[in-house]
Amino acid sequence: MFHRLGQFVVRRAWWVIAAWIVAMIAIVAGAPKITAQTDEASFLPKHYESIQASALQEKAFPASFTPSALALFERNDGGAMNDADKAAMAKIVQGLTDKKIKNVETIIPVGEQTTSKDGKYALAPIAIDKKTQQSEEFGETAKHLREEGKSLTSGTDLKFQLGGSAAQALDQKESSGSADALIAMSTVVLVALIVGIIFRSVLAGILPILISLVVAMPTANGVIAYATKAFKLETTPVLSAILIVVVLGVGTDYFLFLAFRYRERLRAGDDRKEAVANAVGRVGEAIASAAGAVTVAFAVLILSSLGMFKALGPALAIAVVVTAFAALTLAPAVLTVIPARGVFWPGKKWMNEPGNARFTALGRMVQKRPGIVALASGGVLVALSAGALGYNGTFDLAGSSMPKDKESMVVQDKLMNGFSAGAADPSHVYLTSTAGVKLDPAKFEAYAAKLSGVSGVAPVTPKPQLSEDGKTADFTVLLNNKPDSNEAIDTLTDLRDVAHGQAPAGTEAKVGGLTAVYKDINLAMAHDYKLVFPIAGLLILLILGLQLRSVVAPWYLMASVGLGFTATLGASTLLFQDIKGEHGMMFMLPILIYLFVVAIGTDYNILIIARLREEARAGRNPREAAREALRHGGPTVAAAGFILAASFATFMLAGNVFMLEFGFAMAFGIILAAFVMALFFTPALTALIGRTAWWPGHGADDQHAGPAPVTGSHGVPEPAGRH
């Protein structure tokens, strides 16, 4: 199949290139515009209690609001505010109201309840139209409020700063935009330099960038936009940065798979077109299988309970499919129309096969001592995996996705210092009549006392807000810890138990608020771990089985990438929690590590195992096959792994905690996948297991394998028919 594909592309190379360009322009020109979701609650299904509580609030208390923005006032000298300052704040708030900024519904004047106990901070809560919350207008409204507030404050002794969810959306967009640009630029430079150095060629360093970013990336973005609109998928702000690295990183990997084999065929005596066709025929199945493993791992996220992953998974799956298709058609077409000397210019020794002394030595070591190599490399993975036992997840999405010096983050810190840690986003207990009659106010005091008795809860007022029909009461609950902290989430768990268990007869309670959302995200993650991980693993196992025509090798390949996952999580935990002293890492990190390390890490296993099978079918015994596979395939795996790890490492330059953790974990996981699993663990295990690894077929004595290929110069197997 892939030999036929290679021959087709070679015969019609210019038509293939033209078709890609026309398709890209048409897809990009007609793609709908998609806006990313920024509200955590929007990523949860409706059956979770926090979402039900939010719906109840909108129905029972339509006039009430959770502030979308918070105007924070403080004196420039840091002292307590005086009467003149209070008069100035009132004037500023009135001035902001008179500006009639679009989408601003209400600005609550500063009052005693919104002034810190030490008198150094004061708040003016601001309501913004909820309909704009998932659009760019939400952040733009915050921008206008911030600009006008600072202008009105000019000439006073006060400082005006804007926080809250709208300000965080604005700051996150600005910081992610600059981070995307930095990540993209760094990744492009790294790929061009590293690939250029590997092939000692200027053009070879540029080609994967042109194919991946100039053609595949816009095409993938367009297809993603169509799919998002057609299937009403969610979108997430982190997609753009991850997409850049995935498309360029995976695209470069697949280009390297093809280019290394193309150069190998040229050295074996093929002419340019024949070398391209044979390269596609030899590595096409490995590229397709590798892309298939990555695609299903991403696509299975559609089963996630969290819209965040529902958004990320299908989009990345589409991107990988488009990139792989470009690698199998556009890349060989480009290699066909450019003379080989041009591809590898200005290098002069590209036709001379290097000794690959390091990989030759590595191959011999695995050939002679596969047991020791397997034990040592497996021991490294197991030792690092032990660190995963100390992993602790955190939920500070906003604080982790932008630098701490952003204004909304500064406001958040000051709120925690000047007010109750939970004051910035209180929880709510909604008590609703189930009998269709009004609630009995006489029972409120006892119920509030029960809620106040929960450890970690500040005293709850016995006078809740009542709905107009008197059938729903809103008890505002301040937690003693940050709303996104694990302590607050633990408190919320106990609060729900008490709220449900102590609800008066004829009523039911729903607990809502940001902490409740994080609690439900925690529950959704537990659900995903039990569902998404096993399904993704089984699908990858199936792909490996179909590609290798074996029921043995896929199992130890999956075991190795599973160890790679736990080792990566363990190393990240040791670095950030034990060495840096962080109290935890982002809650989504394990799923992201699983998907990227297991899926992309499988690429390198697939490439090396495919070469092992090829060498076995050429008539070599298992240990000889391991030696030759590492000699010929080792440089490709090492180069591809190094480039992809370096690409992911650029996330560490973004300047925020989440990108730092994500960048390190992905880079380290890819290093483990390429340099420990694919170059040591997998070939050593295969050498130990022997021909049984290919059972029931595809060993040297496979009935369908045919005669061993004739070898050309340097022991490179020739395609059938060459003598």
* Radius of gyration of the chain measured on its C-alpha atoms: 30
Instruction: Say which CATH number the domain at 117 has.
Output: 3.30.70.1130
Domain boundary (144, 163, 182) is at 163
**Residue 39: inside a domain:** no
**Residue 304: inside a domain:** yes
Within 108-265, strands assigned E span 122-128, 158-163
**Residue 336: inside a domain:** yes
Alpha carbons 498 and 131: distance in angstroms, whole number = 34
The first and second tokens of residue 445, run together, are 């005091």
CA proximity to 75, closest of 106, 115, 109, 127: 115
Element holding 328 (H helix, E strand): helix 307-328
**Residue 204: inside a domain:** yes
The answer to whether the peptide bond before residue 346 is cis (omega within 30 degrees of 0) is yes
Give 537-583 pLDDT, tens digit per residue. 888 888 888 888 889 999 998 888 889 999 999 999 999 999 988 88
460 with 549, same domain?
no
Domain boundary (464, 488, 512) is at 512
Give how far the C-alpha of residue 715 lies from the chain's centroid of Cα atoms, to the nearest Å: 42
The secondary structure of the chain in percent helix, strand, coil, rounded to multiples of 5, reads 65, 10, 25
Alpha carbons 451 and 604: distance in angstroms, whole number = 55
Q: Which residues pair with 479 in a beta bridge?
A: 457
**Residue 712: inside a domain:** no
- Provide the pairing of β-strand 585-586 with 393-394: parallel
180 with 246, same domain?
yes
83 with 127, same domain?
yes
- Provide the pairing of β-strand 393-394 with 465-466: unpaired
pLDDT score of 444: 93
pLDDT score of 354: 62
329 with 437, same domain?
no
The first and second tokens of residue 338, run together, are 């450019």
Give 452-503 pLDDT, tens digit per residue. 999 999 888 888 989 999 999 999 998 888 887 888 999 999 999 999 999 9
Give 340-374 pLDDT, tens digit per residue. 888 888 877 767 666 567 888 899 999 999 999 99
Instruction: Say which CATH number the domain at 504 has.
Output: 3.30.70.1320
Neighbours of 317 (CB within 10 A): 23
237 pLDDT tier (thresholds 50, 70, 90):
low
Q: Please provide residue 534's backbone torsions phi and psi, each rounded to the nearest 5 degrees.
A: -65, -40
516 pLDDT tier (thresholds 50, 70, 90):
very high
- The number of helices, as runs of H, and strands, as runs of E, in the chain is 26, 10
Alpha carbons 576 and 400: distance in angstroms, whole number = 13
Alpha carbons 662 and 660: distance in angstroms, whole number = 6
Is the distance from CB of 523 to CB of 48 less than 8 angstroms?
A: yes
Instruction: Say which CATH number the domain at 275 has.
Output: 1.20.1640.10
Lowest mean pLDDT among 136-145, 318-327, 414-423, 707-716: 707-716
Structural domains in the chain (count):
3
Alpha carbons 640 and 249: distance in angstroms, whole number = 8
464 with 547, same domain?
no
Please spell the DSSP secondary structure of 423-457, one letter per residue.
TTS-EEEEEEESSSS---GGGHHHHHHHHHTSTTB
Give 130-170 pLDDT, tens digit per residue. 778 767 788 899 999 999 999 999 989 999 999 888 888 88
Q: Please provide residue 70's backbone torsions phi and psi, each rounded to the nearest 5 degrees.
A: -130, 115
Q: Is the pLDDT of residue 233 over 80?
A: no
pLDDT score of 610: 87
486 with 597, same domain?
no
202 with 129, same domain?
no
What contacts 264, CB < 8 A, 6 or more positions away? 279, 353, 632, 716
**Residue 706: inside a domain:** no
Angle between helices 622-649 and 657-671 (to 10 degrees): 160
Domain boundary (163, 182, 210) is at 163
Domain with 433, as residue range(s), is 426-512
149 with 200, same domain?
no
The first and second tokens of residue 138, run together, are 């939400």
43 pLDDT tier (thresholds 50, 70, 90):
low
563 with 680, same domain?
yes
156 with 176, same domain?
no
Is the distance from CB of 395 to CB of 149 less than 8 angstroms?
A: no
Mean pLDDT (whole number) for 608-616: 89
3 state DSSP class of 159: strand
Residue type (1 letter), 148:
E
Residue keyed to tokens 């090396």: 608
**Residue 41: inside a domain:** no
What contacts 306, CB < 8 A, 6 or more positions away? 43, 44, 521, 524, 525, 528
Q: Is the pLDDT of residue 208 over 80?
A: yes
306 with 442, same domain?
no
3 state DSSP class of 123: strand
Alpha carbons within 13 A on the beta-carbon side of 253: 33
459 with 365, same domain?
no
Question: In terms of pTM, does the model score above 0.95?
Answer: no
**Residue 614: inside a domain:** yes
Please spell the DSSP secondary structure of 506-528, one letter per residue.
TEEEEEESHHHHHHHHHHHHHHH
